[in-house]
Amino acid sequence: MIAATESAFAFSPRRVAAMMLRYWYLLRSSWPRLIELIYWPTVQMITWGFIQYYVMQNGGLLARAGGTLIGAVLLWDILFRGQLGFSISFLEEMWARNIGNLMMSPLRPIEFVSALMVMSIVRLAIGVVPVTILAIVFFGFNLYALGFALVAFFINLMLTSWAVGIFVSGLVLRNGLGAENLAWSIMFLFMPLACVYYPVTTLPTWLQPAAWVLPPTYVFEGMRALLIDHVFRADLMLEALAINAVFMAGGLFAFLKLLQAARRHGSLMQTGE
């Protein structure tokens, strides 16, 4: 009835597909969940779109840098929604008190994490793609016109969002749903330092090295270089990729350590607060 026993290091696409199917069933069964994916990115884009429109009407530096605000909002949403998509899929297991079932099944942590990554892209696509189309219609800002640069921005932002999502999931596994708020708020810690809406040079000199530790800083600087100076900074993207590799390794290491701590403290059997 079942396949032969596998080793601890086996990676099964079938088990990843099982988890994706589980989240797809969940999304399909709940229209409020689908609405929630689209609602906030739309509100954000429209608000910032009008701010950009106002700034352009009144001249100044930003008037020459057409689309930097909307571009920043959309890229920030990729970062934020990517992490949220990862974390919410994970939280669904905690809310459903299903984590014990999963941890007792042959599902490996790396397969679980892989399914959450794929689902974060699916959720992001549902939420952000319609908003990017609205940005073209309402404000004439075409994110897709960034071309290859957009791919580089996207990869780097997603890697950061996954690294943070993996770390937060580990914290929730270890500490229960009392740590749930971190999933919603942790990315905002990045916001001032990642220089989403302003150049790194705006920060005090002593704070700038801290900003350059964060991969999204490179992406937002790269976006401004592209929109204002019409230059694609591949060097920034490669640096971001290197730092992201460290972030991902750190996130996975922390997740496995926190999972181990959860096994030690019995948190997997008590997934409440």
Partner 1 sequence: MFRITSLSRSHPLGAKQSHARSSCFGAPVAPHLRVMSRDPAIEVERLVKIYKQAPAVDDISFSIPRGSITGLLGGNGAGKTTTIAMIMGLLLPTSGTVKVLGAQMPHQRYRVLQRMNFESPYVEMPMRLTIRQNLRVFGMLYGVTGLDQRIEELGRALDLTQLLDRPTGKLSAGQKTRVSLAKSLINSPELLLLDEPTASLDPDTADWVRSHLENYCRERQATMLLASHNMHEVERLCERVIIMKQGRIEDDDTPARLLTRYGRRTLEEVFLDVARGRDEAEAAQ
Please state the separation of Cα 70 from the chain's center in Å: 18
Residue type, 126: I
**Residues 14-33 as x/- pattern, contact with partner 1 by CB under 8 A:** xx-xxx-xx--xx--xx---
CB 131 within 8 A of CB 89: no
| Nearer Cβ to partner 1 (80/112) | 112
| Contact range with partner 1 by CB under 8 A, out of 99-107, 192-200, 206-214, 240-248 | 99-107
Q: How far apart are CA 209 and CA 232, in angstroms?
A: 22
| Contact range with partner 1 by CB under 8 A, out of 12-20, 65-73, 130-138, 200-208 | 12-20
- Show the tokens assigned to 228: 């204002």
> Contact between 11 and partner 1 (CB under 8 A)?
no
Q: How far apart are CA 198 and CA 213, in angstroms?
A: 17
Count, residues near partner 1 per rule CB under 8 A = 43
> Contact between 92 and partner 1 (CB under 8 A)?
yes
* Site for partner 1, residues 101 to 140, rule: CB under 8 A: 101-108
Q: How far apart are CA 252 and CA 113, in angstroms?
A: 9
**Token pair 């699916």 is at which residue?**
122
Of 2, 35, 61, 137, the residue at the interface with partner 1 (CB under 8 A) is 2
Q: How far apart are CA 234 and CA 254, in angstroms?
A: 30
Q: How far is the CB of 31 from partner 1 (least distance, A)?
A: 12
- Show the tokens assigned to 135: 């940005």
Contacting positions for partner 1 (CB under 8 A): 1-8, 10, 12, 14-15, 17-19, 21-22, 25-26, 29-30, 92, 96-108, 260, 263-266, 268-270
